[in-house]
Structure 1
Amino acid sequence: MTATSATPLLSMLLQPHGVICLEEGDWLRLGPSGPRAQAWFVNAQTHPNHRAVQLDVVLELWTGRVLIESFGGVGETAEEAERDAFENFARGSLHVLLSAFVRPPDEHVTVEEWELSGVRRRIIFGDIQGRGVQVSREASRAWFDVLERALKTLPLVSGTHWLRVYYAQMQSQPKMLEVLLDNEEWPELKEALLQAPWPRAPEFLSQRLFLVLQGGVDVSRGVAAFVDPPDRDDKLILEELRAQGATPLEAEKVVAYLPLAFGQMMVHDMGPRIPDSAIFVTEGTPNERPVFLPEDPLWREAIRLAKTALEGRSLTRDQFGAIALRSSTIHALNNALNAGSKPEDLVFAPSIIPLSTEAATELHSQAPAIRRPAPAPPPPVTPTPAQKPWWKFW
């Protein structure tokens, strides 16, 4: 698939909207401290009577957190198809993105507050965009109401998310329903929307909605704080997370969980057994409290982000290592390997996570953090020969 840069055209679109675009290599910095953006034309096609192209707008919100919005364009010439794609972007997502990440909301978006998964969130969305046969506002509102009800019942980790819904039909028959959360399919929401009262028409009809959800602690902001710049002191990361709205306990969990999660991902294939539990201890006291990590949404999100980073989909290798090498697991593993141990023979004890008095008070006001014992370790298996990890030669 060929790709042609459309970033200069994106800059031309943004400047009349009052956005200062600063060139940073292949990127545009939106304002002095805003996100970075790129745009690309991909999948250009020539048909007997028209040209078609896909526009991908890429927004790096912060290090390791990338948003992609795609739009089709059609025209008699390649230039008309490209112009049509940008017009679709301008109508469908541009003002939502600017209102969420660059400047205060404007009159082109709606801002509401919904409670989702126990977190009060700000929801920013524009008008539902239609192509082909046009339908009434009431017909569009009917399926939007199903979307809102479903969002208020489905589990969703706190932090920043973006949601795209696209529906298309031809001759009164559904042809496509795309439901993407953070550019990944969301099967549960799609299942709910399959039952929505979508509009029907004898000719082509499509409906598209883009929205951004914000609220609660965002673990991905912790990832960015660890690597941009690297080697930042934990205290500074805590302060940054608190400034973004995290509670003391949330901030301290994120700072503890991310190195542990990234470290576990780094050594997973080497065979050591690492428990799913940890122990919170209050600084300066003998107080201890066990936690079953998979029950904590912040831990699950840390693991998900670590897996994504390990696959090379969000961070560079050096950035991944900058977080993983802070882990006590990695330090203990290196010491054991230097002493001659085999990684597949190692069994780690639960990690000790110190908490400040303020965070410990918040923790003890909550329901018990451990509700069932950690599962027994799996039976021994014949291991494959250990390979030296890329971060250390022992």
Structure 2
Amino acid sequence: MTSTSATPPLRELLQLHDVTCLDEGDWLRLGPSGPRAQAWFVNAQSHPSHCSVQLDVVLELWAGRVLIESFGGFGKTAQEAERDAFENLARCSLHVLLGAFVRPPDEHVTVEEWELSGVRRRVILGNIQGRGVQPSAEATRAWFQELERALKALPLVSGTHWLRVYYAQQASQTMVLEVLLDNQEWPELKEALEKAPWPSAPEFLSQRLFLVLQGGVDVSRAVAAFVDPPDRDDELIYEELRSQGATPLEAEKLVAYLPLAFGQVLVQHMGPRFPDSALFVTAGTRNERPVFLPEDPLWCESIRLAEEAIADGSLTRDQFNAIALRSSTLHALNNALNAGSKPEDLVFAPSVITLSAEAAAELHNQAPAIRPSAPAAPPPNTPAPPQKPWWKFW
């Protein structure tokens, strides 16, 4: 698939909306400290009666967190198709993106508060846009209400998310229903929306909605706090997380969890066995509390983001290492390997995480998340040799 840069016309569109754009290589920095953006025309096609193109707008919100919005463009010429794609961006998503990540929301978006998965979220909604014949406001409102009900019933990790819903039909038959959360298909929400009262018409009809959800501690922003800059000490990271809205316990957990999770994901293919619990100790006391990590959403999200960074390269190797190499587990592994141990023979004890009195009090008020760990299975008689990691510790 060929692609050509669409960043110059993106700059023009942003400047028309009073957004200052600063050059950073192939990127545009939106304002002095806003996200970075770029755009591409892809999949350009010429047909007997018209031309079409796809516009991909890429927004790097912070290190490791990338938003992509795509728009179709159609016209008699390639230039008309490209212009139509940008008009689609301006109508559907631009003001949502600006209101969520660049400046306060304006009159072109709707801002509401919904409770999703026990977290109060700010919801920034764009207008529902369509092509072809358009249904009544009541018909549009009916499927939107089903969307809101389904969102409030489905589990969703806290932090920043974006959602795109696209529906198209022809001759009263559904052609496509696309439901993307953070650029990935969301099967559970799609299944719920397949039963929604979508409008129908004998001609072509499509409707599209884009929205951003914000609320609760954002683990992906905590990742960025570790790598931008990479040598920041724990206290500064803690203060940044607190300024982002994390509670003392959430901030202290993430300062401890993220290096442990990234270190574990980095070396898990080598065969060491990691505990499923951690031990919280209150500073200056003998108070201890074990926590079952798979039931802690912050731990699960830390592991997920580490696995995602390895799989899709959302962080550079240096950025990944800036987090992983803080891990006490990796230092212990390195010492064991230097002493001649085999990684597949190593079984790590639960990490001890020291909490401040304020964070410990917050933890005390939460329901315990601990269960007995099953005995570790013995290693196989003929273990496969571990693969060589892409970062050598010894």
Q: TM-score range by the shorter chain?
A: over 0.9
Letter matched to residue 70 of structure 1: S
Report how far residue 379 of structure 1 moved.
4.3
How many residue pairs get aligned? The number is 393
Partner of 1:206: 206
Aligned to 2:253: 253
1:266 CA displacement: 0.6
Gaps of 5+ in 1: none
C-alpha distance in 1 between matches for 2:387 and 2:349: 23
Q: Could you say which residue in structure 1 is the equivalent of 2:325?
A: 325
Partner of 2:293: 293
Q: TM-score, normalised by structure 1?
A: 0.98
Q: In the alignment, is residue 41 of structure 1 matched against residue 41 of structure 2?
A: yes
C-alpha offsets along residues 251-303 of structure 1, whole Å, 9 cap, x if unaligned? Answer: 01111111111011011100001011111111111111011101011111101
Question: Does the aligned pair in 2 maintain the 1:28–1:38 contact within 8 Å?
Answer: yes
- The separation in 2 between residues aligned to 1:220 and 1:87, in whole angstroms, is 31
Q: Distance in 2 between matches of 1:255 and 1:8?
A: 39
Matched-pair contact (CA < 8 Å) for 2:345–2:379? no
Alignment deviations for residues 120-171 of structure 1 (CA, whole Å, 9 cap, x no partner): 1100011101111111111111000011011111111110000000111111
- The one-letter amino acid of 2:265's match is M
For 2:28, the equivalent position in structure 1 comes to 28
Q: Deviations over 1:219-269 (max 9, x none)?
A: 001100000110110000000000011000010111111111101101110
Contact kept in structure 2, 1:281 and 1:287, CA below 8 Å: yes
For residue 126 of structure 2, what is the aligned residue in structure 1?
126
Indicate yes or no: 2:22 matched with 1:19.
no
Cα deviation, residue 387, structure 1: 3.8
- Compute the RMSD of aligned alpha carbons: 1.0
Distance in 1 of aligned mates of 2:258 and 2:36: 24
Shift of 1:393: 4.9
Question: SS at the partner of 2:153?
Answer: coil
Corresponding position of 1:336:
336
Alpha-carbon distance in 2 for matches of 1:66, 1:376: 40
Equivalent residue runs for 1:100-111 within 5 Å: 100-111=100-111
For 1:183 and 1:373, how far apart are their aligned partners in 2?
37
Q: How far, CA to CA, are the matches of 2:161 and 2:257 in structure 1?
A: 21
- Between the aligned residues of both structures, percent identity stands at 81
Q: Does 1:376 align with 2:375?
A: yes
Q: Which residue of 2 aligns with 1:279?
A: 279
Task: Please tell me the residue identity of whatever aligns with 2:144.
Answer: F
Counterparts of residues 63-212 of structure 1 (less than 5 Å): 63-212=63-212
| In 1: Cα distance, 2:387 partner to 2:123 partner | 47
Q: Map Cα deviations across residues 296-341 of structure 1 (whole Å, 9 max, x no partner).
A: 1111110110001111331001111111111111101000000000
Measured in 2, the distance between the counterparts of 1:390 and 1:188 equals 36
Is the Cα contact below 8 Å between 2:261 and 2:303 reproduced in 1? yes
Letter in 1 for 2:78: A
User: Which deviations, in whole Å up to 9, do the C-alpha atoms of 1:59-109 show, x marking residues without a partner?
Assistant: 001111000000000111110000000000100000000000111110000
Are 1:271 and 1:383, in contact at CA under 8 Å, matched by a contact in 2? no
Counterparts of 2:70 and 2:313, CA distance in 1: 18
Superposed displacement of residue 195, structure 1: 0.6
Q: For the residues of structure 2 that align with 1:80 and 1:377, how far apart are their CA atoms?
A: 64
- The separation in 2 between residues aligned to 1:319 and 1:63, in whole angstroms, is 9
Say whether residues 1:308 and 2:308 are aligned partners: yes
Task: Tell me how far apart the structure 1 counterparts of residues 315 and 128 of structure 2 sit (CA, whole Å).
Answer: 33
**4+ residue segments displaced more than 4 Å:** none
Shift in Å, 1:388: 3.9
1:217 is matched with 217
User: Is 2:226–2:232's contact at 8 Å kept on the other side of the alignment?
Assistant: yes
- Indicate if the aligned counterparts of 2:334 and 2:393 stay in contact, CA closer than 8 A: no
What letter corresponds to residue 300 of structure 1 in structure 2?
C
Give the whole-Å Cα distance in 1 for the aligned partners of 2:49 and 2:390: 54
Unpaired segments ≥5 residues, structure 2: none
Distance 1:56 1:317 in 2: 26
